[in-house]
Amino acid sequence: MLLVALTPRDSSEVSRDAALVHRLRHQDVNAFEQLYKRHSRVVYSLVLRILQQTQTAEEVVQDVFLQVWRNAAQYQESRGPFVPWLLTMARNRALDTLRLKSERQRRREDQAEELPSISAAPQYEKELDQKRRATQVRTLMAQLSAPQQKAIEMAYFDGLSHSEIAAALQEPLGTVKSWIRNGLLRLKEGLSAVS
């Protein structure tokens, strides 16, 4: 019901957004500014409602519009108006941010419960261990198929979502998820066998 109230009321508004997105695909900064002015408030309202923090909401709105700038080609007018697509993207990004924050909080709490180590390893041993682990990961990554390597690199080093990776590689979303999941399982098995 929220989306219905926020969507453009007539076809001229819908076609105006579509025209702006079309210009945006050609890196038209003016079109981007117009889209931002037209829709940033409604995106901010939705994100703020989910996150309940103004600073974080502002950051997420910036991320959403940056994603619009980078991925304007992903919007398909034939699948529906621009505003619901934009709000879905904003909602997903806000929920991802919320999940990430709760995961970080959980990790902090878990670390606070752990007792400090009685003996600390000398720094050089720690560095050698980190180098050994990095070498193991590189070796195990080299054993993965090329699509698995690429998908994992895009997810963990480029910070792309599974949907963004699927679009970039022009592969089905389920295939990309399988590559990443199976690749990570092989890495985990390889690392636990060595440890």
What is the C-alpha to C-alpha distance for residues 79 and 153, in angstroms, rounded to an integer?
A: 30
Rounded Cα distance, 147 and 26, in Å: 29
C-alpha to C-alpha distance for 46 and 24, rounded to whole angstroms = 23
DSSP at 9: S
CA gap 89, 71 in Å, rounded? 11
Q: What is the pTM of this model?
A: 0.49
Confidence of residue 183 (pLDDT cuts 50, 70, 90): confident
Q: Which residue pairs, CB below 8 angstroms and at least 24 apart, start in 164-168? A: 164/71, 167/71, 167/74
Q: Rounded to an integer, what distance in angstroms lies between the CA atom of residue 55 and that of residue 33?
A: 21
| Residue type at position 72 | A
Tally of residues, the chain: 195
Please name the residue that has the structure tokens 């980078």: 70
Tens-digit pLDDT profile for residues 74-123: 888 888 888 899 999 999 999 999 888 877 777 776 666 665 555 555 67
pLDDT level of residue 3 (50, 70, 90 thresholds): very low
Domains and CATH numbers, the chain: 2-106 (1.10.1740.10), 133-195 (1.10.10.10)
